[in-house]
Amino acid sequence: MATAPRVCRSLAQVGCPQADHRRLPAGLVAHRHSVFRTCAVLLLCALSSSYAAVEAGFAERDITPAIGQERPGGYGKAFHRKLLDPCKVRVAVFSDGARTVALVGVDALMISRRVVQAARAEITRLTQIPGDAVMIAASHSHTSGPVGMVQPGEYDGAPELVRKLAYEQSSLADAAYLARVTQQIAEGVKAAADARVPANIGVGVGREDKVGFNRRLRMKNGQTWTNPGVGNPDVVDYAGPIDPDVGVIGAWDRQGRLLGAVVTHALHANISPDGISANWIFPLEQTIQGALKAAVPIVFLAGACGDISKIESLTPYERPSEEQWMQMVGGRIGAEAVKVLLTMPRGPDVAVHSRTKVWPIRRRLPSPANLQRARALVAAGKPAGNPAQTEWTMAKETLMAEYLGRVSPEVEVEVQTIQIGPAVCVSNPAEYFVEYGLEMKKRSPFPFTFPVELANGCVGYVPTEEAFGPGGGGYETRLTSYSNLEITAGRQIADAGVALTKELKPGPIPARPRVKQPGQPWLYGNVPPQVD
């Protein structure tokens, strides 16, 4: 554990001028002024090279939608009919004496750039925390409130047909609900900032590889399909890896009481229980709080999981019910987080920093032939049943994507790094393929690197370039109003994130105190074998 060098109590202790020196010889006066300057330099060096004891605060706010509001997560409309568990804004704030950062997890399908910017402005007004030191990330819960996919006013200038497709046939955010989420994010950060106390911080990683699977599979026809069906005989193998890491940042007060925790894992929150829910993040939270007997906020941040879900395609067994699935996924990930929290070393000397890069990425547009086909399909009317209805929905999305590409050919993208001692969270605004998250972990100089997707905005799916190649394909590569960035977007985001991690210096990993002197043998145990 790093400690600050001892600094003199007063400048007089090292011969600095405290009394009237006008009667002293000129040479001695000059010497004492030199010593004074040396002392000042040593003081400044001591203060700049040491870490102030970190403070941490946690808070949460309720954003549970009302029954009857839209349920996001698809390209059509669906509505909530009952309540299962609450949806929340979950906040962790860390300060090292010089800087303050905030990690905000929102039980939501996505978080729009407009909401992020409005929330950050209000946070700065309430707390003085700079907006670029606040990371706001959605859990991607498919059973949460009406935050998307279409945003209020987004298609007001579109042709009548496209405007109707967007507002009447698509999942639509509710303006009043977005305002509520924005305010609750800001108030949650203020509450966490006000709750800060001196803390000991621990960082660790567990492993859970039994509930998440790559949902893209290689097929015998040479293509890659998303969710081809459990037991499909035409499946060759999984098309990509998973990320089993369960990243954990824990904070305790100086009396050893848990203040809260940040948990990251790369797995879609797309389980479909019948009702409003934080999805599997709710049993994750329950597992941690119950095992540790601590009703504290648990801030969940989704890792790079654009191609990772709970469906195991290569299994001979039937699926569990959605409610069982939710408990199984959240319980196992929560249990792994508990194991990490129980064993991680803790320490108070933790530096916090943040870095941000914002730049435009171009959208891709449908070809003239694709556009003509889409117009014909939409004009024929929405059919009943699949697969015809799916093709109509994708045609609708093609027309909407073409409008967005014309009026807004570029999308503002932000990548952000927030450092908590030896850990760094690296954001992206996408449903980001796991391969990029794993790559960033390898290239980062930090011992603990936690990619965070759907943060500080939303640009839809961002697959690897391979997914757009001859052997690619699948749901995530389809051009829609939600997912339409140019094919190189994933590489741009990964390179930007890694570059930002290299602008920061990892802090020391907390370690347990070393044994000061050898222990004495146990008197019952320091004996030869007894055989008589």
Q: What is the 3-state secondary structure (H, E, C) of 282-314?
A: HHHHHHHHHHHCCCCCEEEEECCCCCEECCCCC
Contact 317, 483 (CB under 8 A): no
If you average pLDDT over residues 2-14, what whole number do you get?
33
Query: Are 99 and 22 in a shared domain?
Result: no
d(Cα 498, Cα 227) in Å, to the nearest integer? Answer: 31
Task: Report the helix count and the strand count for the chain, using DSSP H and E.
Answer: 10, 19
Query: Are 224 and 263 in a shared domain?
Result: yes
Say yes or no to pLDDT of 200 above 50.
Answer: yes
Query: Are 494 and 412 in a shared domain?
Result: yes
Residue 19 banded pLDDT, cuts 50, 70, 90: very low
When divided into structural domains, the chain yields a total of: 2
Residue pLDDT, tens place only, 416-469: 999 999 999 999 999 999 999 999 999 999 999 999 999 999 999 999 999 999
Answer yes or no: is 196 within a domain. yes
Say yes or no to pLDDT of 379 above 50.
Answer: yes
- DSSP character at residue 387: T
Contact 426, 444 (CB under 8 A): yes
Stated length of the chain: 532
Query: Are 68 and 21 in a shared domain?
Result: no
If you average pLDDT over residues 167-179, what whole number do you get?
98
Say yes or no to pLDDT of 9 above 60.
Answer: no
Query: Are 419 and 299 in a shared domain?
Result: yes
| Largest pairwise CA distance in the chain | 102
Query: Are 349 and 488 in a shared domain?
Result: yes
Answer yes or no: is 234 within a domain. yes
Query: Are 45 and 62 in a shared domain?
Result: no
Answer yes or no: is 20 within a domain. yes
Answer yes or no: is 383 within a domain. no
Full-model pTM: 0.90
Domain that holds residue 32: 11-49
To the nearest whole percent, how much of the chain has pLDDT over 90? 89
Answer yes or no: is 511 within a domain. no
Answer yes or no: is 187 within a domain. yes
pLDDT at 52: 55
DSSP 171-220: -B--HHHHHHHHHHHHHHHHHHHHT-EEEEEEEEEEE--SS-EE-EEEET
Say yes or no to pLDDT of 348 above 50.
Answer: yes
pLDDT at 427: 98
Query: Are 340 and 416 in a shared domain?
Result: yes
d(Cα 411, Cα 396) in Å, to the nearest integer? Answer: 21
**Closest alpha carbon to 57 in 253, 241, 239, 225:** 253
Residue 21 banded pLDDT, cuts 50, 70, 90: very low
Coil, strand or helix: which one is 132?
Answer: helix
Query: Are 20 and 98 in a shared domain?
Result: no
Say yes or no to pLDDT of 17 above 50.
Answer: no
Say yes or no to pLDDT of 473 above 90.
Answer: yes
Residue 451: exposure state from Cβ atoms within 10 A (0-12, 13-18, ≥19): buried
Q: Which amino acid is at 491?
A: R
Kindly provide the b/e burial profile for residues 130-165, where b requires at least 16 CB atoms within 10 angstroms of the residue's own CB.
Answer: bbbbbbbbbbbbbbbbbbbbbbbebbeebeeebbeb
**Closest alpha carbon to 408 in 168, 132, 114:** 114
Q: Whole-number mean pLDDT of the chain?
A: 91
If you average pLDDT over residues 251-278, what whole number do you get?
97
Coil, strand or helix: which one is 443?
Answer: helix
Question: Which residues are registered as beta bridge partners of 248?
Answer: 204, 263
Starting at the edge strand found earlier in the chain, the sheet holding 100-106 runs 134-138, 100-106, 88-95, 55-62, 197-207, 245-253, 258-265, 298-302
d(Cα 497, Cα 330) in Å, to the nearest integer? Answer: 28
Q: How many CB atoms are located within 10 Å of the residue 474 CB?
A: 21
- Residue found under tokens 């700049």: 48
- Weakest mean pLDDT among 10-14, 31-35, 156-160: 10-14
Residue 5 banded pLDDT, cuts 50, 70, 90: very low
Say yes or no to pLDDT of 10 above 90.
Answer: no
Say yes or no to pLDDT of 36 above 50.
Answer: no
Contact 158, 166 (CB under 8 A): yes
If you average pLDDT over residues 23-29, what whole number do you get?
40
Q: What is the C-alpha end-to-end distance of the chain, expressed in Å?
A: 51
Say yes or no to pLDDT of 34 above 60.
Answer: no
To the nearest whole percent, how much of the chain has pLDDT over 70? 90
Say yes or no to pLDDT of 38 above 60.
Answer: no
Query: Are 179 and 247 in a shared domain?
Result: yes
Answer yes or no: is 222 within a domain. yes
- Cα–Cα separations (whole angstroms), residue 258 to 57, 93, 199, 201, 341: 11, 14, 9, 10, 10
Query: Are 234 and 256 in a shared domain?
Result: yes
- Weakest mean pLDDT among 22-31, 91-100, 187-196: 22-31
Say yes or no to pLDDT of 150 above 90.
Answer: yes
pLDDT at 31: 41
Answer yes or no: is 373 within a domain. no
Q: How many CB atoms are located within 10 Å of the residue 476 CB?
A: 22
Contact 424, 402 (CB under 8 A): no
Beta-strand runs (E) in 371-469 = 410-420, 423-427, 431-432, 448-452, 461-462
pLDDT at 53: 86
Q: What would the two tokens of residue 118 be?
A: 């409005």
d(Cα 518, Cα 525) in Å, to the nearest integer? Answer: 16
Q: What would the two tokens of residue 385 be?
A: 């049943």
Task: Kindly report the backbone phi and psi dihedral angles of residue 123, in degrees, each rounded to the nearest multiple of 5, phi listed first.
Answer: -60, -45
Angle between helices 489-501 and 434-443 (to 10 degrees): 30
pLDDT at 481: 98
d(Cα 50, Cα 70) in Å, to the nearest integer? Answer: 51
pLDDT at 8: 33
Query: Are 255 and 270 in a shared domain?
Result: yes
- DSSP character at residue 270: -
- Weakest mean pLDDT among 37-51, 83-97, 133-147: 37-51
Kindly provide the b/e burial profile for residues 416-428, where b requires at least 16 CB atoms within 10 angstroms of the residue's own CB.
Answer: bbbbbbbbbbbbb
- Residue found under tokens 């934080």: 278
